[in-house]
Amino acid sequence: MIGLLSTLWEVRRYAIGAVGGLLLFSALNALLWLPEAREEGRELERAAALKRSIEIIQERGRTNAEINALDDAGLCRELGGMFEDGQCR
């Protein structure tokens, strides 16, 4: 009987230790690791958005250069019209 009680006490100690470890892990996760992961995710998203914005601005600059290089007839053709008698139709 004493052996059984001793075994139950050991099991109880391990269970209490496991629950305590789980609570400690959950607290560390909620207080330390999760906020850092969220902030890192935000920083990555900001960097990706900034990179895409720069790409769009560069693309727009190339488009503007191409448009500025066109004469009136070329601009008319690019817009789908026909340039006749000095007018785009």
DSSP assignment of 27-45: HHIIIIIHHHHHHHHHHHH
Apex CA 29: angle with CA 27 and CA 31, to 5°? 65
Q: What is the pTM of this model?
A: 0.50
Number of C-beta neighbours around residue 21 at 10 A: 10
Number of C-beta neighbours around residue 89 at 10 A: 8
For 63-79, how does the pLDDT look when each residue is reduced to its tens digit (9 = 90+)?
A: 999 999 999 889 888 88
- At 17 the pLDDT is 82
Higher local confidence (pLDDT), 54 or 6: 54
Integer Cα distance of 43 and 48 in angstroms: 9
Query: Is 6's pLDDT higher than 80?
Result: no
DSSP assignment, residue 86?
T
